[in-house]
Amino acid sequence: MAQDEARPGSGSTSGDHGSGPASGTVHPGAAHEGADELVQLIDPHGVRHADVRYDELVADVDGPALRRLYEDMVVVRRIDAEATALQRQGELALWPPLLGQEAAQIGSGRALRADDFVFSSYRENGVAYCRGVDLTDILRVWRGNASSGWDPYSINMATPQVIIGAQSLHATGYAMGIIHDGADSVAVAYFGDGATSQGDVNEAMVFAASYQAPVIFFCQNNHWAISEPVGLQAHVPIARRAPGFGIPSVRVDGNDVLACLAVTREALARARAGGGPTFIEAVTYRMGPHTTADDPTRYRDPNELEDWAARDPLARLAALLDSLGLLDADYADSVKAKADATAATLREGCLAMPEPAPSDVFRHVYSEPNSWLDRQQDHYERYLASFAQASQEGSR
Amino acid sequence: MAQDEARPGSGSTSGDHGSGPASGTVHPGAAHEGADELVQLIDPHGVRHADVRYDELVADVDGPALRRLYEDMVVVRRIDAEATALQRQGELALWPPLLGQEAAQIGSGRALRADDFVFSSYRENGVAYCRGVDLTDILRVWRGNASSGWDPYSINMATPQVIIGAQSLHATGYAMGIIHDGADSVAVAYFGDGATSQGDVNEAMVFAASYQAPVIFFCQNNHWAISEPVGLQAHVPIARRAPGFGIPSVRVDGNDVLACLAVTREALARARAGGGPTFIEAVTYRMGPHTTADDPTRYRDPNELEDWAARDPLARLAALLDSLGLLDADYADSVKAKADATAATLREGCLAMPEPAPSDVFRHVYSEPNSWLDRQQDHYERYLASFAQASQEGSR
Amino acid sequence: MPTMTFGRAINAGLRRAMDDDPKVVLMGEDIGKLGGVFRITDGLQKDFGAHRVLDTPLAEAGIMGTAVGLAYRGYRPVVEIQFDGFIYPAFDQIVCQVAKLHYRTQGAVKMPITIRVPFGGGIGSPEHHSESPEAYFTHTSGLRVVSVSNPQDAYTMIQQAIASDDPVLYFEPKRRYHVKGEVDEAAPPSSAMGDARVVVEGTDVTLVAYGPLVSTARDAAIAASDDGISVEVIDLRSLAPIDFRTVEASVRRTGRLVITHEAAQSGGLGAEIAASITERCFDYLEHAPVRVTGFDIPYPYSKLEFHHLPDLDRILDGVDRVLRRPNSLSALDADAAVQR
Amino acid sequence: MPTMTFGRAINAGLRRAMDDDPKVVLMGEDIGKLGGVFRITDGLQKDFGAHRVLDTPLAEAGIMGTAVGLAYRGYRPVVEIQFDGFIYPAFDQIVCQVAKLHYRTQGAVKMPITIRVPFGGGIGSPEHHSESPEAYFTHTSGLRVVSVSNPQDAYTMIQQAIASDDPVLYFEPKRRYHVKGEVDEAAPPSSAMGDARVVVEGTDVTLVAYGPLVSTARDAAIAASDDGISVEVIDLRSLAPIDFRTVEASVRRTGRLVITHEAAQSGGLGAEIAASITERCFDYLEHAPVRVTGFDIPYPYSKLEFHHLPDLDRILDGVDRVLRRPNSLSALDADAAVQR
Ligand SMILES: Cc1ncc(C[n+]2csc(CCOP(=O)(O)OP(=O)(O)O)c2C)c(N)n1
Ligand SMILES: Cc1ncc(C[n+]2csc(CCOP(=O)(O)OP(=O)(O)O)c2C)c(N)n1
Ligand SMILES: [Mg+2]
Ligand SMILES: [Mg+2]
């Protein structure tokens, strides 16, 4: 039932069936010549290929800029590894690794302006890094110490959404507000391949198209939704979904940071110019487990992981830098040092995080006084006090 | 924001924007050459046009068969008018007219086999007629006398769904059951243009594509969802939506009964052969109000109605029959007589409908005894009895 | 003071809120040109523009989810759900987002969304058009829930709901839209939205109602007084949180409580009121609180709806019951007494 | 009799139901190869095939709506909702379709759908993974709602739920999945699904619990007995309808009722139990029923969840309260007494 997804670089598409177009009939895939081709600027071997459409969008990305993208990816991978280690050591309750998705997140994240606004799922810690998040903040929720890590307005990024797909509507509504304000910023919704099955994501496309909202739907197709392969969610490549709603889409090699930067810039420019929404499918791979609680050996072929390791987003940018003479030992050392220092900061922040107070459970449910809850809080405080009293009195 | 819908017969499409296809980019509408063309076999003037693809699918529709389709449409229009009259006379609480949509409903409805199963909205009384519904049954709900009109299994059609779009999932699930049973019947979901905005309808397409379920999504785009024009729901023609889910779709002149028959037969054949789902957009027009409670003069241009009157589904088949010498006065009279007799039966059935008993409110909530409800019923019966007693005793 | 219908009063309140604050935007199905199926937003799109009165695609989750996004951006969306029975597709966005975002973001993001819901039965409609889903929302932490019973409150409270930084479900008794009443448009903002209101004073029984049944309760009080029974009628106005102090004060005087609502009895708001008042007034109660409510059934077809809906007679029967006067269950009570 | 974990017992019950009836199909996210995130369906896809154990697309409304279609076609779908907090996208299909189709079709169409929901907190999870949404469903006419507290009931009741022609919400206390117990696989079908069960007999106080808190309640009864207090513990098992006869019989003896659940207090199931038992036992009650429940807050982050969740000490405090023994609110009660 589930078709195999096209692999980046393979150039093949799948899921096409039926004959050619006929009078009045639309066959899925039939009329989409080239639609499933991946935008790729750097191939898995680190070779930069020319592209008539996208080269000019990244014309400014010179050697130093490429190095910054590389650094970002190395640092984010290190942050991710450190958080995974913290979870294994019992310092975090859970962690959703982004291993393998660095290029998709950095490439898109670095395209954004400070006044754009991001609505993401739980896995976009690389994007949060680009937004300038305080490192400790990305751990608060996973340590169980807070209901959220940061003030969304401080970095113009909503705190992670756990309900799959729900944030796509928030981004669309936010973008409707941007139109209303006459601003030229853009809202970006990040979600996964699995999310595309949710009604919310499809309704978001309806609203975005209807109001021509400046929103980007950035779908990281990492091939898995926990144990479910992408073919169960989408019978044809995901990027084909959006045009049916009147939204242009593009399929990009999600492991190519430069291509991700280029397509996101294109979408941003369209949105800023009043051209409405864009859907980006970044084809990538979740190299780790779904979360640290997951055991992917139960459901996926180890060979698949190997295949994808050969398309590693960091390795290919390293190869490109090397070919450009930009990856000398000194530089490599300095990047590693930066990554290690960042990881150390992360760990410190994690361990130094203050414990919440019991009465914090009652805070911020409402912004105004609430007689029901205030009474419950009063009663609970009396209850807690009764222990203090009891232990003073030495009884029970 | 909302684009104008293409009109049947005009051949024009709208909502296309952006430039041609580019590397890796799918532009809505750009690559869909011909996708928005309407399948049309009988034009608004009653002229039959040849079609290489669809002619063979209706090769068996000879003169007598055309006459039967015509009769069906006349009778259904008469039923609809009678029900509207009954509402105006206070015999029904509400009625949702199908005026203008006869061809879409009869063309598709007559394509079905008895063992196919229909899941519809409130407006498909023409389809119910094709399924052989007892006429009184279509009025029960609108008279307020029952929660449903018929036993779905008696005519293989679910009772009307009021929650917009919900039935699309039921049809898909039913079709999954058909696969499981190894049968070759087909489930058909009818819904409107407005319904395409609902998450449910989009999720239904995900499931149908994923399991290759033998289901037909039959969307009657009647241009309006109460007061909202179709352009608010869909930025590009609705038929384009399905291919993005991996589902072939077709756009048909919904006022051409023969074309509707043809495309439905094609979809049925595909489904029976294991080819999975099909999406049909039947482009038609709601000539009446949304329901008898609605006042369309508040929101729509009377000229629009006039335009569509010129494309009336009955008139064009009458013109064709006439050109074939099949519409002599005797025949016309006999059709009218049949329609009048049917209307009389409908009216009789309506007026003779038995009133429900008070205790019916408690029936069928559960199929097994339920202590909470049984107690409430007992108490209510005692309550009702207390009045009888009181009036006997002459008190209060 | 002008006299206006209930529906007009809400319209006037919306207009005033939109005049006062450019961040107020209305969203919903058919609310623009048509003015809503009940015409509550009549004329507002014409006067404020299509960018402030948005006809939305036909998708309730979409409406609610984009309202959340607008609230993120600093707007105060007022969402119309066309009928009570169509709120469920939006349930996930209401429960997981609207209700929780302030808590989730530790106060950083406010959700000043007002969700207007024409609710309740009695208008002879088909399925899904007559429901009373309020208990789903009163059980949802993070929401405020109100219901209005008269034009003045409707006018005042819609403005208060919109002004509140917390999300508010605003339940409108659709079968009362055409009821007229005086509306003081110059009245200073009162505490209406938070406080219950004693509609009729009385000493024997406390009768609690809200929304459409407030006028039925008032009629019942008048009828009871003919029998020499003094019923105090309280209009809750706020359903979450409930102003229990007002109810408690009344029950301490009367010792007897009857609650009425259209929603199904089991797990309905009446249960919370009965439980809370029993907790607060146990030593004052002469009888267990009595609930006069809809049955535990899907809302029935219209020919039977007036069996389902509490009416004056059923309420009076409940009043008799709480007073241990002869009532429809007297025989049962006698049986139970024998069993003891 | 074999000893097995709670989770295994459900697995065995599902297996048995699938063996007995080829119309039983399982649907859900990750329930196939992975066996579900809690491994409850472990091995079933391997043994029964992918056509009877369906991994579904990630869309809860889609799962529920297609289950309705399968039921129309004569199947008995058993749907797994991955976590309590993810049931809301399916809410519309549950409330408007699953619950109402039998009524709507006047009995012609049966909806024998079982909806399995791992629910409740205490496992240190992030948001949406620890909720107790049962009251939304117990207030929904047309549904049956049950919750299981031990492996034997889990095994028996999953089969009864599947065999029922009415739709059943089957709430599984996820934090007890690893608890072991004896399971008699040959036991004849009992009345488990309909009847409450007296877990511990007692004479002073009736303590009502269900799901995850039954074992906490049992521990509380043991602790109370050290203080010379005899607590009768009742496991409701069925939450809608509740077997009030069993609770009523107990309260008539003890005169005192404590109810505990994890869900928020306001509008929770405890309100219905308190209200109904007060109605049925008013003259026997020595004190108002006491509710020991979660607070009216979104489920909190894990470092604070054990403040939110009722535990042994909070239950004992409630027991003290209902007995008018010194408790955390004694000072308040004294104040109130002075005010009188
Ligand atoms: C509404 C809802 N249903 C189910 C889940 C449980 N769940 C959490 S992550 C996940 C898979 C998501 O897959 P995808 O969208 O591809 O994102 P990825 O995890 O691959 O980044 C599921 C099913 C959820 N969080 N929300
Ligand atoms: C979930 C839901 N939301 C809103 C409504 C109210 N409503 C009834 S019909 C209708 C318009 C439907 O339009 P369309 O799908 O085009 O079908 P048509 O009436 O044109 O046949 C609306 C909004 C509803 N029945 N269900
Ligand atoms: Mg994924
Ligand atoms: Mg329509």
Specify which residues D205 forms β-bridges with.
D231
Give residue A31's pLDDT. 34
The reply to whether B286 belongs to the active site is yes
Q: What is the CATH number of the domain that holds C320?
A: 3.40.50.920
Q: What is the CATH number of the domain that holds D47?
A: 3.40.50.970
Averaged pLDDT, B55-84: 98
Q: For residue A23, give the nearest of B202, C105, D140, B41 by alpha carbon.
A: B41
Averaged pLDDT, A7-36: 38
Asked if residue D4 lies in contact with residue D185, where contact means CB atoms within 8 angstroms, the answer is no
Q: Which atom of ligand 1 approaches the CA of A163 most closely?
A: 26
Task: Tell me whether residue C225 is exposed, middle or buried, using C-beta atoms within 10 angstroms of its C-beta: 0 to 12, 13 to 18, 19 or more.
Answer: middle
Distance CA B229, CA B227 (A): 7
Q: For residue B106, give the nearest of B68, B147, B73 by alpha carbon.
A: B73
Q: Do D244 and B368 touch (CB under 8 A)?
A: no
Distance CA B332, CA B335 (A): 5
Find the ligand nearest to A190 CA: 1
Residue A5 has pLDDT above 70, yes or no: no
For residue D290, give how far its alpha carbon lies from the nearest alpha carbon of chain C (Å). 7
Q: Do D70 and B176 touch (CB under 8 A)?
A: yes
Specify which residues D233 forms β-bridges with.
D200, D207
- What is the percent of chain C where pLDDT is above 90? 94
- C215-224 pLDDT, tens digit per residue, is 999 999 999 9
Give residue A35's pLDDT. 56
H or E element that contains B346: helix B329-351
* Locus of tokens 């819609």: C158
Q: Please check whether residue C192 lies inside any domain of the structure.
A: no
Find the ligand nearest to B195 CA: 2
Give residue B387's pLDDT. 87
Give residue B17's pLDDT. 28
**Does residue D175 sit in the same domain as residue D284?**
no
Bin A90: left if φ > 0, else alpha if -120 < ψ < 50, else beta. left
Ligand 2 centroid to Cα of residue B75, in Å, is: 26
Name which of A141, A164, A293 is nearest D301 (Cβ-Cβ). Answer: A141
**Does residue C165 sit in the same domain as residue C266?**
no
Q: Do B373 and D241 touch (CB under 8 A)?
A: yes
For residue D268, give how far its alpha carbon lies from the nearest alpha carbon of chain C (Å). 7
Q: How far is CA B242 from CA B208, B209, B238, D22, in A?
A: 11, 10, 8, 33
Distance CA C288, CA C282 (A): 9
- C263-297 pLDDT, tens digit per residue, is 999 999 999 999 999 999 999 999 999 999 999 99
Residue D189 has pLDDT above 90, yes or no: no
Angle at A279 between CA A276 and CA A281, to 5 degrees: 165
Residue A18 has pLDDT above 80, yes or no: no
Give residue C1's pLDDT. 83
Asked if residue B277 lies in contact with residue B214, where contact means CB atoms within 8 angstroms, the answer is yes
Distance CA C154, CA C167 (A): 17
Give residue C194's pLDDT. 86
Find the ligand nearest to C58 CA: 2
Residue nearest atom 7 of ligand 2, based on CA coordinates: B164
* Locus of tokens 């459900």: D10
Give residue B396's pLDDT. 42
Q: How far is CA B190 from CA B157, B186, B215, B241, in A?
A: 11, 13, 11, 16
Residue B26 has pLDDT above 90, yes or no: no
Residue C325 has pLDDT above 80, yes or no: yes
Q: Bigger pLDDT: B31 or D322? A: D322
Beta carbon pairs, A and B, within 8 Å: 185
Catalytic pick from B88, B299, B363, B366? Answer: B299
Q: Which of B141, B367, B376, B379 to mutate to test the interface with C (most CBs of C within 10 A)?
A: B376
Residue C159 has pLDDT above 80, yes or no: yes
Residue B6 has pLDDT above 90, yes or no: no
Give residue B232's pLDDT. 97
Q: Please check whether residue D189 lies inside any domain of the structure.
A: no
Give residue A387's pLDDT. 87
**Does residue C158 sit in the same domain as residue C207?**
no
Give the chain C residue nearest B381 (alpha carbons). Answer: C328
**Does residue D240 sit in the same domain as residue D305?**
yes
**Does residue C156 sit in the same domain as residue C246?**
no
Q: Please check whether residue C191 lies inside any domain of the structure.
A: no
Is C64 in CB contact (< 8 Å) with chain D?
A: no
For residue C190, give how far its alpha carbon lies from the nearest alpha carbon of chain A (Å). 16
Single-letter code of the amino acid located at C91: F
Q: For residue D58, give the nearest of A293, A160, A234, B180 by alpha carbon.
A: A234
Averaged pLDDT, D18-45: 98
Q: What is the mean pLDDT of chain B?
A: 91
Give the chain D residue nearest C135 (alpha carbons). Answer: D267
Confidence of residue B13 (pLDDT cuts 50, 70, 90): very low
Range in B11-15, B134-138, B151-155, B247-251 with the lowest mean pLDDT = B11-15
Give residue A34's pLDDT. 43
Angle at D48 between CA D47 and CA D54, to 5 degrees: 120
Distance CA D121, CA A238 (A): 36
N-terminal to C-terminal alpha carbon distance within chain A: 64
Q: Do B244 and A235 touch (CB under 8 A)?
A: no
Give residue C183's pLDDT. 96
Distance CA A372, CA B152 (A): 47
Name which of D61, D66, D106 is nearest B199 (Cβ-Cβ). Answer: D61
Residue B3 has pLDDT above 70, yes or no: no
**Does residue C207 sit in the same domain as residue C177?**
no
Q: Which atom of ligand 2 approaches the CA of B290 most closely?
A: 19
Ligand 1 contacts CB of residue A293 (under 6 A): no
Q: Do A356 and D301 touch (CB under 8 A)?
A: yes
Q: Is C14 helix (H, G, I), strand (E, B) or coil?
A: helix
Q: Is B183 helix (H, G, I), strand (E, B) or coil?
A: coil
Averaged pLDDT, B259-265: 98
Q: Enumerate residues 74 to 133 of chain D having a beta carbon within 8 A of any beta carbon in chain C.
A: 85, 88-89, 91-92, 95-96, 99-100, 103-104, 127-128
Which structure tokens are listed for C110? 């406010």
Averaged pLDDT, D49-70: 98
Q: Do C303 and B145 touch (CB under 8 A)?
A: yes
Q: Which of chain D's residues have a Cβ under 8 Å away from the Cβ of B366?
A: 102, 142, 144, 166
Q: How far is CA C160 from CA C63, C190, C238, D75, in A?
A: 22, 9, 12, 50
- D119-162 pLDDT, tens digit per residue, is 999 999 999 999 999 999 999 999 999 999 999 999 999 999 99
Asked if residue B298 lies in contact with residue C33, where contact means CB atoms within 8 angstroms, the answer is yes
Confidence of residue D290 (pLDDT cuts 50, 70, 90): very high
User: Last residue of a domain, which of D129, D150, D182?
Assistant: D182
H or E element that contains A87: helix A63-88
Give the chain A residue nearest C50 (alpha carbons). Answer: A180
Give residue C187's pLDDT. 79
**Does residue D154 sit in the same domain as residue D35?**
yes
**Does residue C54 sit in the same domain as residue C173?**
yes
Q: Which atom of ligand 1 approaches the CA of A96 most closely?
A: 19
Residue nearest atom 12 of ligand 1, based on CA coordinates: A225
**Does residue D223 sit in the same domain as residue D120?**
no
Q: Please check whether residue D192 lies inside any domain of the structure.
A: no
Residue A338 has pLDDT above 70, yes or no: yes
Q: What is the mean pLDDT of chain D?
A: 96
For residue B107, give how far its alpha carbon lies from the nearest alpha carbon of chain D (Å). 25
Q: For residue D152, give the nearest of D4, D290, D265 by alpha carbon.
A: D4
Asked if residue D317 lies in contact with residue D327, where contact means CB atoms within 8 angstroms, the answer is yes
Give the chain A residue nearest D305 (alpha carbons). Answer: A361
- CA dihedral (C254, C260, C266, C270) in degrees, to 10, reads -50
What is the DSSP secondary structure assignment for residue C210, as one 8-state letter? -
Residues touching ligand 2 (Cβ under 6 Å) are B 121, 123, 162-164, 191-195, 222, 224-226, 286, 290; C 29, 58, 60, 82, 86, 89
Contacts of C238 (CB under 8 A, 6+ apart): C144, C145, C146, C193, C194, C195, C196
DSSP string, D195-221: S-EEEE--SSEEEEE-TTHHHHHHHHH
Structural domain boundaries enclosing C66: 3-182
- C44-68 pLDDT, tens digit per residue, is 999 999 999 999 999 999 999 999 9
Residue B162 has pLDDT above 80, yes or no: yes
Ligand 3 centroid to Cα of residue A123, in Å, is: 10
Ligand 4 centroid to Cα of residue B163, in Å, is: 14
Averaged pLDDT, B278-292: 98
Asked if residue B122 lies in contact with residue B148, where contact means CB atoms within 8 angstroms, the answer is no
**Does residue D58 sit in the same domain as residue D141?**
yes
Q: Which of C46, C127, C128 to mutate to test the interface with B (most CBs of B within 10 A)?
A: C127
Give residue A6's pLDDT. 32
Question: What total number of domains does chain C contain?
Answer: 2
Q: Which of chain C's residues have a Cβ under 8 Å away from the Cβ of B146?
A: 301
Distance CA D269, CA C211 (A): 24
**Torsion angles phi and psi, residue C168, rounded to 5:** -130, 130
Q: How far is CA A95 from CA A102, A162, A187, D104, D125, in A?
A: 16, 13, 26, 46, 11
Distance CA C335, CA C340 (A): 9
Which structure tokens are listed for B127? 């389809």
Give residue B394's pLDDT. 58
Q: Is the preceding peptide bond at C241 cis, omega within 30 degrees of 0?
A: yes
User: Last residue of a domain, which of D124, D147, D182?
Assistant: D182
Residue A52 has pLDDT above 90, yes or no: yes
Q: What pTM value is reported for the model?
A: 0.96
Give the chain D residue nearest C102 (alpha carbons). Answer: D298
Give residue A363's pLDDT. 97
User: Last residue of a domain, which of D126, D158, D182?
Assistant: D182
Distance CA A231, CA A227 (A): 12
Asked if residue D105 lies in contact with residue B148, where contact means CB atoms within 8 angstroms, the answer is yes
Distance CA B155, CA C317 (A): 45
**Does residue D52 sit in the same domain as residue D146?**
yes
Residue B15 has pLDDT above 60, yes or no: no
- A125-171 pLDDT, tens digit per residue, is 999 999 999 999 999 999 999 999 999 999 999 999 999 999 999 99
- What is the percent of chain A where pLDDT is above 90? 88
Distance CA C238, CA C232 (A): 18
Distance CA B152, CA B143 (A): 19
Q: How far is CA C259 from CA A325, C198, C238, D281, in A?
A: 81, 14, 15, 18
Q: Please check whether residue D34 lies inside any domain of the structure.
A: yes
| Chain D contact partners (≥3 CB pairs within 8 A) | A, B, C
Contacts of A43 (CB under 8 A, 6+ apart): A9, A49, A256, A316
Q: For residue A214, give the nearest of A181, A242, A247, A178 by alpha carbon.
A: A178
Give residue C192's pLDDT. 74
Q: Do D70 and B158 touch (CB under 8 A)?
A: no
Q: Do C141 and A174 touch (CB under 8 A)?
A: no
- B79-111 pLDDT, tens digit per residue, is 999 999 999 999 999 999 999 999 999 999 999
Averaged pLDDT, B360-366: 97
Give residue D298's pLDDT. 98
Averaged pLDDT, B130-154: 97
**Does residue D135 sit in the same domain as residue D232?**
no
Averaged pLDDT, C302-316: 98
Q: Please check whether residue C28 lies inside any domain of the structure.
A: yes
Which structure tokens are listed for B221? 């785009």
Q: Is B156 helix (H, G, I), strand (E, B) or coil?
A: coil
- What is the percent of chain B where pLDDT is above 90? 88
Ligand 1 contacts CB of residue A255 (under 6 A): no
Buried b / exposed e over C252-280, threshold 16 CB at 10 Å, is bebbbbbbbbbbbbbbbbbbbbbbbbbbb
For residue D111, give how far its alpha carbon lies from the nearest alpha carbon of chain C (Å). 15
- Within 10 angstroms of residue B323's Cβ, the number of other Cβ atoms is 13
Give residue D193's pLDDT. 87
Contacts of A336 (CB under 8 A, 6+ apart): A74
Ligand 1 contacts CB of residue D91 (under 6 A): no
